[in-house]
Amino acid sequence: MGRVQVFSQIAVLPFSAISTPRSVRLVDFDPSGTKYWDYLRISNRGHDSPVFIGLNGISAASTLSTAVSLPTSTNQQILYVGKEEVFEIYTRVSKLSIQSTGTAATIGITLGRF
**Residue 93: which H helix or E strand, with range?**
strand 85-93
> By C-alpha distance, which of 99, 89, 17, 29 is closest to 58?
99
The closest alpha carbon to 10, from 38, 43, 42, 45, belongs to 38
Give CA angle at 82 (76, 84), nearest 5°: 135
Spatial distance between the Cα atoms of 85 and 55, rounded to a whole number of angstroms: 18
Show me where the domains of the chain are located: 9-113
Mean pLDDT of 39-55: 87
Determine whether 99 is exposed, middle or buried from the number of CB atoms within 10 Å of its CB (0-12, 13-18, 19+). Answer: buried
Give the pLDDT band (50/70/90) at residue 95. confident
pTM across the whole model: 0.78
Chain-wide mean pLDDT for the chain? 79
Q: Among 1.10.3720.10, 2.60.120.770, 1.10.10.10, 2.60.120.200, what is the CATH number of 9-113? A: 2.60.120.770
- 52-79 pLDDT tens trace: 888 887 777 766 554 445 555 556 777 8
pLDDT at 66: 41
